[in-house]
Every structure is written in structure tokens, then in C-alpha cells.
Amino acid sequence: MAFDIEMIKKVYDNLDAKVNAARKVVNKPLTLTEKILYAHLWDGQASTAFERGKSYVDFAPDRVAMQDATAQMALLQFMQAGRPQVAVPSTVHCDHLIQAKEGASKDLATANTQNKEVYDFLASVSNKYGIGFWKPGAGIIHQVVLENYAFPGGMMIGTDSHTVNAGGLGMVAIGVGGADACDVMAGLPWELKFPKLIGVKVTGKLSGWTSAKDVILKVAGILTVKGGTGAIVEYFGEGANSLSCTGKGTICNMGAEIGATTSIFGYDVKMADYLRGTGRADVAELADKVAVHLTGDEEVYANPSAYFDQVIEINLSELEPHINGPFTPDLAWPLSKFAAAVKEAGWPAKLEVGLIGSCTNSSYEDISRAASIAQQAVDKNLVAKAEFTITPGSEQVRYTVDRDGYLDIFGKMGGVVLANACGPCIGQWARHGAEKQEKNSIITSFNRNFAKRADGNPNTHSFVASPEIVTAFAIAGDLTFNPVTDTLTNEKGEQVRLDEPQGIELPIKGFAVEDAGYQAPAEDGSKVQVLVSETSDRLQLLAPFAAWEGTDVTGLKLLIKAKGKCTTDHISMAGPWLKFRGHLDNISNNMLIGAINFFNEKADSVKNQLTGEYGAVPATQRAYKAAGIGSIVVGDENYGEGSSREHAAMEPRHLGVRAILVKSFARIHETNLKKQGMLALTFANPADYDKIQEDDTIDIIGLTSFAANSPLTVVLNHKDGSKDEIKVNHTYNDQQIEWFKAGGALNIIRASVK
């Protein structure tokens, strides 16, 4: 079930009929996104045009991909669904749990020992249920998916925000929570609010230091971290067609940083080349035959503002390299303005580390372009002033770039090759000195740069750029260096300049690999034993959550009123906690420990209304739970942005929080809350956030007549005896209301299997 050419054939065989049916329904020329979405409607969907940003629609994705951290909970949930095999081709990728410390081979050996029980669980559960298993060291999920599974016109969901990377190969690929993955693997439809469409018209051609990464760094600056929310971003135009397939992947990958549901490019020669280059000439041949359906209609691209909700234009010929950050990926600086920004803001100009690779930028082209800069350092007697690390995206890329001499070049420059895994990108970086929490700067070719993400130090100013810019900066060791205009002093005291990077899109001798790290599942898994130890502190079988009690929910204590940014990292912190991903009770000890309490501006310090004492958030919540009292979490804008982890929804559910009330939600997190049977509510009037007081006891009224599009009422009972009554909105549809009533979607799935 892991790779299935028959499945791709079926998708393409039906494409003509489905796109033509959609044409009649929509009654105007179609964008690529619409073609793919309409071609993947769940059977029996109404044949009416869906309203963008409003209609909830059931889809039938073709594939599921899971990374090891999120797969644990997804598969623990899938086991509860009672099915013998996954319903669609699915894969698990062991990439997130490998700590980056001493280099690839040592780190991999350590991970294999430290995570043995998790890997054994994932390997055995994959083997049993027909899931392809990619071992630790095989690579980062999104690179492996791009190389092996993504196909133009397909639809995939994945338990990771950067699943969207596969849009580079023309796929509608969307990051979801483990609960959604569980549904699709169980053969159920997957629901999505029909997205708005943002068109990005790309003209011109890249040259010099500018790369595909700079397209998305620029777009992030325009749209900001919220600008893509609820939208699919479709890139088109002759400039788009000129970008390499992996470059397109980079752009789509970082679409997650603007909150986009996903991003996509239409099928073109570059994609066909990549499919052939990665051993999938058969897929390219099939795609060629239906190419007209794998891109938007001509009329759409000729007059995009008539068909997209928003249109942005990017001229590659004028685009400068960008550096985004610190602390947020949408603070976009053109290279020519960056040095002044560093000086003016007082960010540490001395660069400590440059890190290239990650799922965003670890293609053959990326590595070859960065290596062309590294080679110059060697040739021109420059010694890299900052540390430098390389994280290859897959074993196939690593093996090939090693064969072609690039790793050797990085080694000569003083670079350290890390394992083919997420490592430093996800807080799994055992960086020496990070515990001192010194103010310092790093630059990466990754995608996210929230505080503490890479090394746990809140004072690490993390910037994001292309691999070639990162490499140049690592050589200079100075953030105020501009490789286009400035010179560097070499070992001989000479002034030397770095020439523009040169790269190769696909290896001339082809990709090669000895052991890609793939393990196929058993044909018949019925006898396979899933390995979960009862005494494990990392894995715990799930018990069903309780159903709704059938009344309004009253007497809730305010657990925390979170101030400002509250990402899923704040709600369920990564780093060392990743270890407990498969153990709900243990990982719940990180619940909301990163959120800032509005009332005292501190993290992990809230008032326990039963004692009046301040304490840690999880401990306070456990005290409410022990006393049989529910609670509520209040938050600000875009609550739950960031990674797709459903733990951020399961932990509050497990510990007895009943509702999350915020100014606005990030999409995936809102859905995750609904799946777990939580109430995800938004202030009808965002200013009502100010009415929430620290000692409030809160009632949620209207649940006995809970209905789609009908607001609920929240009563704030203040300590002084006064009350405020406010309206709160929700986006639950009829089915999601059933999830709430049943105590979670899984309870409904199990009932339907029996």
C-alpha cells in the first residue's frame, strides 16, 4: 500500500470526467486547485459549486504520510478504530526524534538506542496495518515523499505542517492532525472548509544569488503569518514554470509559514524531469496524457483577478535574496537592506552558526549551490568564521551528493554533516552553550524561526534564508555582510569576493543510494504483534474520552488567559517533550507551559482559584481535574498556529479543559480541538477578551441547542459578584457537533466499525 501506481492510474483515469463535471458545476474556467479539489470529492457530494471560505466539504485523499513524532498518536488512534488495514496508501517516516549533536553516524546510533521502543512500535504497527515504514536515517518526511510518492493532481494529507511541500510536484498536500490521518486511514472522508484561492503570478527568471527560497521569503513578507489562512496559494506564469521542481517544493513548503492551507504549482516540464530523475518515468508518462487537467485553465492565468480571491505578482528578474527574522518568518528583509536593519535593531551581528538543509532546502540543487560557495571558501583561503552544519533531506540525496563530492567540500570548509533528519530544526539540537541563554544569532535555510525552536534558547536570534546565503554568511560570520557587494579578508590578508552560486538541478549521473531505508509491510499483517509495553513511559494505549453530559457546561475556572502569540509550540512544547508523544498522560505535563499569562506576564505561572496560589499550568489543571471542576483557556489571535500536533488539543481534553475561547484560531488546531470533543470558540466581539478577569468562573450556555451557524453565550461570573454576558461564535457543522456530543470523533468511528 505504500506506493501504488494503480492508485495513480485510477486518479488520472477519472480526471477527465471529474474535471468536466466540475466545469459544469462551477460554470467558469477552473484554477488548478479547483480541478484537484473537485476531482477528490468524497462520493455522493452535492453537485453544487462550493463557496470559498464557507462550505465544508468531504474529500477522499489518495495518500497519508506521517512523521514519527505525530505518527505515534495517529496510529494509537487508528488501532482504536478496529480496521485490519489502512484504506489508502500510507507511510511512516522516522525523522523527528533524532537529536543533532555530534554528526550523522553517532547521532543516528544514539537515536536508535534512545527511541528503540518507539521505532519498534512504529515498525510493528506499520507492518501489521499495511503501512510503508521509513527507518531512522532514511530522511525527512517531505523530501522522501517528494522523491517517492508525490504526484501531480493527487491529494495527500500528512501529520505535519510541512506536508504542503508536495505542492512542488503538483499535489494538493495538506498538514493535518493525527485524528484526521486516522479517519482517512480508516476509510472515512476527510473534511475541509473549501479554501479561498490566492494566485501568485510569477514572471521573469532567477539569476545570481536569488533562489526559489527568496520567492516565499518575499511572499511571507507580503502576506504575513496570517495572510494565507484558509487559502490555497496557486503559483503560475512563465516564471513559475522556470523554477526547478524542488525549488517549487521549497516555496510550497514555506507556505505553511503564511498559514496557507497549502500551495501548489501546475504540472510542467520541470516536474516531468524530476519524476523521471527520481525513477518515476511511468508517473510522468501518465501525467503527460492528462496534462491539460494538471494545470489551471488558460483563461484563469490570462485574467487571474477574475478567478482568484487575491493576486500577487512576483518578478523573479527583480527579486533580491531575502533574509527573514528574527523570531518570526514574515519579517522579510531584502539583502540590500538587511545590514542596516541588523545595526538599527541591535541584533547580534556576529553569527554563531549557519545551518543548511531541512525539509525546506535539502535538494540536490540546494546542496550543489551551497557547495559552490563552500568551494570558493576553500579555493580563496577563507576560513568559515561561524560553525556550519548540513542536514541532508534524504539518504538518496545524501548518498548522491557524497558521491558527487559535495560533502567533501563542506568538510573542507569545516562543515559538520548531521543525520538525514529534522535535528536542529525542531528543538532537537544539543547545542553547546545554549543553556547559558546568551543573546546570539544563527541563520538557517529552514522554514520556522520562532523563539526557542532550534536550540531552546529564547535569546537565539534565528534568521531564515536560502542555503547559498546561509553558507556565505557562515563564511563571513557576520550578519552585516552582503555577498553581492562586500569583500572578505582571507588568510593571506587579501580582499576576496564570493562569486555567484552555481547549481545543478538534478544529478548528471542520476540519483543513487545503497539502502534508502525503506521497509515494506507484511502482505498479511493479521498475525503481526504490535509492540507496546505496559510499563512504557513513552507509549500508552488510549482510552476513549467521555461523551458530553447533555447539559450546558457551567462553573468552569479560567485556567489561563494567554497573551499574544500562542502557537502549538507554546501549547505543547517540542524539544525534550517529543519523547512522550505516544504517552498522553506524560506529555500533558507540558500543557501550555510556554503560554504567557496575561495577568502576570509570566510563562507557566497561573493562579489556582481553589488555593489562590500561583503554580505551573499543568499542575493547576490537574488540581481542577482532581476536584471535578472543568476549566477554560482564553487566547489571542491565531491561537494554535504552527505545527499540526494534535497533542495541543488532546492534552487539554485529557486534563479536563472544556473549551478554548480565542480571538481567532489557526485552522489545523481548531479542527484538532473539534476532533477531540473540545469546544473551540471565538469572541464575536474580539474586544470581549478584555472582559475576562483572573478569578472568573465561566458558564457556556446554549449547548442543548448547539447548532451550526448559531452563536453560543458565555457568562463571565466575576469574583466581585458582577457578571458579563458575551456572544461567542463557532464553526462547527452538524457532523462536528456530533463529535462534540460523542466526546470525540474517534468514539464515532469505533461505533461505525462495529
Binding residue for ligand SF4 (CB under 6 A) from 446, 463, 481, 706?
A: 446
- Least separation in angstroms between residue 424's CB and ligand SF4 is 9
The catalytic position among 95, 297, 330, 569 is 95
- Pick between residue 477 and residue 575 the one whose CB is nearest to ligand SF4: 575
Q: Which of residues 94-133 bind ligand SF4 (CB under 6 A)?
A: 95-96
Cα separation, 558 vs 694, whole angstroms: 7
- Pick between residue 423 and residue 582 the one whose CB is nearest to ligand SF4: 423
Residue among 598, 658, 667, 659 at smallest CA distance from 638: 667
Residue among 698, 608, 588 at smallest CA distance from 654: 588
Q: Cβ distance 117 to 581 under 8 Å? A: no
Q: What character string, x for contact with ligand SF4 (CB under 6 A) and - otherwise, covers 383-422? A: ---------------------------------------x
Residue among 156, 173, 169, 314 at smallest CA distance from 247: 169
- Pick between residue 95 and residue 366 the one whose CB is nearest to ligand SF4: 95
- Least separation in angstroms between residue 394's CB and ligand SF4 is 11
By CB under 6 A, is residue 353 in contact with ligand SF4?
A: no
- Least separation in angstroms between residue 456's CB and ligand SF4 is 14
- Pick between residue 248 and residue 561 the one whose CB is nearest to ligand SF4: 248
Cα separation, 470 vs 450, whole angstroms: 18
- Pick between residue 70 and residue 372 the one whose CB is nearest to ligand SF4: 70
- For the chain, the residue count is 754
The yes-or-no answer on residue 95 being catalytic is yes
Size of the site for ligand SF4 (CB under 6 A): 14
Stretch that binds ligand SF4, among 135-143, 278-286, 316-324, 605-613 (CB under 6 A): 135-143
- Least separation in angstroms between residue 96's CB and ligand SF4 is 6
Side chain identity, residue 92: V
Cell numbers representing residue 26 in the block: 462551477
- Pick between residue 165 and residue 621 the one whose CB is nearest to ligand SF4: 165
Give the SS3 label for residue 493. coil
Straight-line distance from the first to the last Cα atom of the chain, in angstroms, rounded to the nearest whole number: 24
Q: How far from the centroid of its chain's Cα atoms is residue 753's Cα? A: 30
Cell numbers representing residue 488 in the block: 572578505
The yes-or-no answer on residue 83 being catalytic is no
The catalytic position among 142, 369, 583, 645 is 645
- Least separation in angstroms between residue 69's CB and ligand SF4 is 9
- Pick between residue 18 and residue 162 the one whose CB is nearest to ligand SF4: 162
The catalytic position among 68, 107, 160, 455 is 160
- Least separation in angstroms between residue 296's CB and ligand SF4 is 28
- Pick between residue 62 and residue 160 the one whose CB is nearest to ligand SF4: 160
The catalytic position among 448, 647, 658, 669 is 448
- Least separation in angstroms between residue 71's CB and ligand SF4 is 13
- Least separation in angstroms between residue 722's CB and ligand SF4 is 46
The yes-or-no answer on residue 120 being catalytic is no
- Least separation in angstroms between residue 95's CB and ligand SF4 is 6
By CB under 6 A, is residue 426 in contact with ligand SF4?
A: yes
- Pick between residue 114 and residue 735 the one whose CB is nearest to ligand SF4: 114
By CB under 6 A, is residue 220 in contact with ligand SF4?
A: no
Q: What character string, x for contact with ligand SF4 (CB under 6 A) and - otherwise, covers 8-47? A: ----------------------------------------
Element (H, E) at 406: helix 406-412
Give the SS3 label for residue 41. strand
Residue among 397, 425, 504, 466 at smallest CA distance from 212: 466
Cα separation, 419 vs 394, whole angstroms: 9
- Pick between residue 41 and residue 173 the one whose CB is nearest to ligand SF4: 173
Residue among 587, 592, 588, 589 at smallest CA distance from 603: 592
By CB under 6 A, is residue 447 in contact with ligand SF4?
A: yes
Cα separation, 59 vs 40, whole angstroms: 6
Cα separation, 141 vs 163, whole angstroms: 8
The yes-or-no answer on residue 752 being catalytic is no
- Beta-strand ranges (E) seen in 295-383 are 310-315, 322-324, 332-334, 351-357
- Least separation in angstroms between residue 387's CB and ligand SF4 is 19
Q: What residues form DSSP beta bridges with 202?
A: 314
Torsion-angle region of 268 (φ positive above 0: left; ψ -120 to 50: alpha; else: beta): beta
Q: How far from the centroid of its chain's Cα atoms is residue 380's Cα? A: 39
- Pick between residue 424 and residue 483 the one whose CB is nearest to ligand SF4: 424
- Pick between residue 96 and residue 647 the one whose CB is nearest to ligand SF4: 96
Q: What character string, x for contact with ligand SF4 (CB under 6 A) and - otherwise, covers 137-166? A: ---xxx-----------------x-x----
Cα dist from 475 to 102, 350, 461, 468, whole Å: 21, 12, 18, 11
Binding residue for ligand SF4 (CB under 6 A) from 425, 560, 587, 596?
A: 425
The catalytic position among 643, 653, 654, 658 is 643
Residue among 680, 647, 676 at smallest CA distance from 663: 680
Cα separation, 681 vs 727, whole angstroms: 10
- 547: CB partners within 8 A, 6+ apart: 677, 741, 742, 743, 747
Q: How far from the centroid of its chain's Cα atoms is residue 352's Cα? A: 26
The catalytic position among 40, 63, 93, 96 is 96
By CB under 6 A, is residue 363 in contact with ligand SF4?
A: no
Give the SS3 label for residue 744. coil
Phi and psi torsions of 352, nearest 5°? -85, -45
Q: Any idea which residue has 543516528 for its cell?
A: 108
- Least separation in angstroms between residue 303's CB and ligand SF4 is 36
Cα separation, 124 vs 326, whole angstroms: 41
Other residues' Cβ atoms within 10 Å of the Cβ of residue 414: 17
Q: What character string, x for contact with ligand SF4 (CB under 6 A) and - otherwise, covers 179-218? A: ----------------------------------------
The yes-or-no answer on residue 124 being catalytic is no
Cα dist from 706 to 369, 404, 738, whole Å: 56, 62, 10
Binding residue for ligand SF4 (CB under 6 A) from 359, 666, 668, 673?
A: 359
Q: Cβ distance 699 to 723 under 8 Å? A: no
- Least separation in angstroms between residue 131's CB and ligand SF4 is 18
- 341: CB partners within 8 A, 6+ apart: 333, 347
- Pick between residue 141 and residue 370 the one whose CB is nearest to ligand SF4: 141
By CB under 6 A, is residue 358 in contact with ligand SF4?
A: yes
Q: Cβ distance 648 to 584 under 8 Å? A: no
The yes-or-no answer on residue 643 being catalytic is yes
Kindly report the CA angle at 134 between 130 and 136, in degrees rounded to 5? 140
- 617: CB partners within 8 A, 6+ apart: 559, 560, 591, 592, 593, 595, 604, 605, 606
By CB under 6 A, is residue 93 in contact with ligand SF4?
A: no
- Least separation in angstroms between residue 114's CB and ligand SF4 is 18
Q: Any idea which residue has 481567532 for its cell?
A: 664
Stretch that binds ligand SF4, among 134-142, 406-414, 461-469, 673-681 (CB under 6 A): 134-142
Interacting residues with ligand SF4 (CB under 6 A): 95-96, 140-142, 160, 162, 358-359, 422, 425-426, 446-447
**Catalytic positions, written as ranges:** 95-96, 160, 448, 643, 645
